[in-house]
Amino acid sequence: KSTIIKAPVAVGLEEKHLKPLHMNDLLHEAKEALSAARDEAKKIVAAAQEERFTRKKHDTSFPLNSIKYCLANQNISIEDIDYITFYEKPLLKFERLLYQHLQGFPKTIKIFIRSMPFWLTHKLRIAKVVKKELGYKKDIIFIEHHMTHAASFLISPFEEAAIVTIDGVGEWTTTTYGVGKGNEIRLIKEIKFPSSLGLLYSTITAYLGFKVNNSEYKVMGLSPYGDMNRKTNIYYEKLRKVLDLKNDGSFRMNMDYFIYQFYDRMPSKKLRKLLGGPTRKFNSEITQRHKDIAAALQMLYEDVFIKILNHAYKETKCKNLVLSGGSALNSVANGKILSNTPFKKIWIQPDPGDGGSSIGGAVFLYNSILGNKRIFELKDASLGPEFSTKEVKNFLNKNKIKYQSFKNNEELVKKVAKLIREGNVMGWFQGRMEWGPRALGNRSILSDACNPKMRDILNLKVKHREKFRPFAPVICEDDVLEYFICDKPVPKPTDFMLMVYPIKKQWWKKIPSVTHVDGSGR
């Protein structure tokens, strides 16, 4: 992924790995973001994922469509861009991969042979690839991966904050914490590969038969169906053996149980033996054992996560927290931060994973490298394309689709509410598309939370996905404390569907389709 910036116009392009690069055979998607300045209000004005244009989920192709959208949004061309920033330093990452291959030789020979041609022709030549694809002739700036995550601070509401980033792996780093103040970001401590909380979660995700770097959230959603008691869940004690956790939140993985540093598969023979059976086959039955393993993983993740945060507070003494990295999508753990740490306020951008690195790279260059003053706070995720009434009507007429027009939004809302109450499932397509992986009310499926059958209807007939998957409640902020046991004031990341809280018990039977098995809602 990469980012483009021009003062006063900045475009952020994130072009993730286009094919498998190393031990995990992970495919990533392509995303792009645009930041622009108009008058005195320098702000991010457009951002979109390539998949939203091609209709291919996690599209790995070069993000030309999203780039074209962002440039067109500001009526500019690629010639107007002064800088492009890339979300990692390829040479530093290549150093790690060579170290892995040499350390693991001859076990790593197959993946070495498969991955090296792509590195030599593409990844190490990414500057030339980007320039060729875009017809771009100016500078490309490479920024360390976790710094692009940490740069979420620069679009937060805080003048000063502790920063914590957690993901699978960047170049070498898997976890960092530090401090952001004004335009400056100072990372104090890091944990390096192969010890990785994100890769631990991905390894168990693979063991449970789900796709790595794509379905970790499914394991999070499955975990409440298991035994969430640390004293009685036998797999919790087993998983504790794979990780040595220190009081300061640092940890070391017992690599006897892992092979992701050498192979393109994740669950090792020793890990399978520890967990008492083979890897679950995709689409096979999910047993109680699988649910208990998911629960054990989530509990272990939260143990490490909370210790990291508490130590970050101890070192920084900042009451504000900015959380970023792919692991910041673990909304169950996020909902426990303010009640289990001294932090008073938290901010997570709408796409804290690698997609958000496109925005992070853009603002890090603009604010921290070029020294421009921070005056922008990202308050909502409505950064994607929108369509005029005329464009919508032309599409409907062209495809001979019957439709009804309304004089105003009030009439439309009343009609939709009536249809929902009658048991219909509505596709809501209004305003600008959301930035990030969550449907936040602009491109959303709406249905009746009070209908006890609706969750199964949506999972099986509309979404075509696993029956255990939960749905998110939509609620006015003023009413949150009536329904939820929630932090006060309600944290901003709830707007981005990034925090899970318990629903008050008296509402469980009244809103069953948005009440998860453990009585929670996201």
Q: Among 75, 79, 86, which residue's Cα sits nearest to residue 32?
A: 86
Using CB atoms within 10 Å of the CB of residue 517, give its burial: 0 to 12 exposed, 13 to 18 middle, 19+ buried: middle
CATH superfamily of 192-347: ATPase, nucleotide binding domain (3.30.420.40)
Superfamily of domain 2-87+89-142+354-369 in the CATH hierarchy: ATPase, nucleotide binding domain (3.30.420.40)
Evaluate the omega torsion of the peptide bond into residue 493 and state whether it is cis, within 30 degrees of 0: no
Q: In sequence order, what are the residues at sequence separation of 6 or more whose Cβ sits closer than 8 angstroms to the Cβ of residue 131?
A: 137, 140
Determine the pLDDT at residue 165: 99
pLDDT band at 14 (very low <50, low <70, confident <90, very high): very low
**Chain segment 104-148, per-residue pLDDT in tens:** 888 888 888 888 998 998 889 999 999 999 999 998 999 999 999
Triad 75, 8, 353: Cα angle to 5°: 85
What is the C-alpha to C-alpha distance for residues 369 and 361, in angstroms, rounded to an integer? 10
pLDDT band for position 20 (cuts 50, 70, 90)? very low
Q: How far apart are CA 253 and CA 201, in angstroms?
A: 12
What is the distance between the alpha carbons of residues 311 and 482, in angstroms, rounded to a whole number?
Answer: 33
Q: How wide is the angle at C-alpha 255 spanned by C-alphas 333 and 148, nearest 5°?
A: 50
> Where is 446: in which H helix or E strand?
strand 443-446
Q: Which two tokens stand for residue 316?
A: 């920084």
Give the mean model confidence (pLDDT) for residues 335-349: 98
pLDDT, the chain, mean: 90
Q: What per-residue confidence (pLDDT) applies to 450?
A: 96
Find out whether 293 and 208 touch, Cβ atoms under 8 Å.
yes
Q: Averaged over 21-29, what is the pLDDT?
A: 29
Domain extent listing, the chain? 2-87+89-142+354-369, 192-347, 389-521
Which CATH superfamily, name and number, covers 389-521? Answer: Carbamoyltransferase, C-terminal domain (3.90.870.20)
15 pLDDT higher than 60: no
E strands, 29-135, where?
30-38, 41-49, 83-86
pLDDT of 16 reads 39
* Separation between Cα atoms, residue 479 and residue 484, nearest integer Å: 9
Q: What is the mean pLDDT of residues 470-483?
A: 94
Helices marked H in 277-326: 288-316
Can you give the pLDDT at residue 306? 98
Give buried/exposed letters for 438-452 (b at 16+ CB in 10 A, else e): bebbbbbebbbbeee
Enter the DSSP assignment of 17. -
Strand partners, 140: 84
Say how far apart CA 197 and CA 177 lie, in whole Å: 14
For the chain, first and last CA: distance in Å? 29
Mean per-residue pLDDT for 160-175? 97
Q: Which of 365, 184, 186 is nearest to 176 (CA)?
A: 186
Residue 36, beta-bridge partner list: 9, 43
**Alpha carbon distance 333, 327 (integer Å):** 9
465 versus 179: the higher-pLDDT residue is 179
Q: Residue 475: is its pLDDT beyond 50?
A: yes
The Cβ of residue 481 has, within 10 Å, a number of other Cβ atoms equal to 14
> What residue spans of 105-196 are helical by DSSP H?
109-121, 126-134, 145-150
Kindly give the interhelix angle for 109-121 and 90-104, rounded to the nearest 10 degrees.
160
Q: pLDDT band for position 388 (50/70/90)?
A: very high
- 22, with CB counted inside 10 A (0-12, 13-18, 19+), is buried
Gap between the Cα atoms of 438 and 498, Å rounded: 9
Reported as a single tens digit per residue, the pLDDT across 206-250 is: 999 999 988 999 999 999 999 999 999 999 999 999 999 998 889
Rounded to two decimals, the pTM is 0.91
Mean pLDDT of all residues in 306-331? 98
pLDDT number for residue 30: 56
Query: Does residue 101 carry a pLDDT above 80?
Result: yes
If you average pLDDT over residues 160-181, what whole number do you get? 98
Q: For residue 37, what pLDDT is reported? A: 40
Task: Supply the pLDDT for residue 108.
Answer: 85
Asked if domains 192-347 and 389-521 share a fold, the reply is: no
Range name among 42-46, 174-178, 231-235, 498-502 with the lowest pLDDT average: 42-46
Instruction: Tell me what percent of the residues of the chain surpass a pLDDT of 90.
Output: 76
User: What is the reported pLDDT for 21?
Assistant: 21
Per-residue pLDDT tens over the stretch 401-450: 999 999 999 999 999 999 999 999 999 999 999 999 999 999 999 999 99
For residue 77, give every residue at least 6 positions away whose Cβ sits within 8 Å of its Cβ, in sequence order, or none: 71
Q: Which pLDDT does position 59 carry in this prediction?
A: 87
| CB contact at 8 A, 34 and 12 | yes
Q: How confident is the model at residue 32 (pLDDT cuts 50, 70, 90)?
A: low
Name the pLDDT band for 28 (thresholds 50, 70, 90).
very low
DSSP 373: P
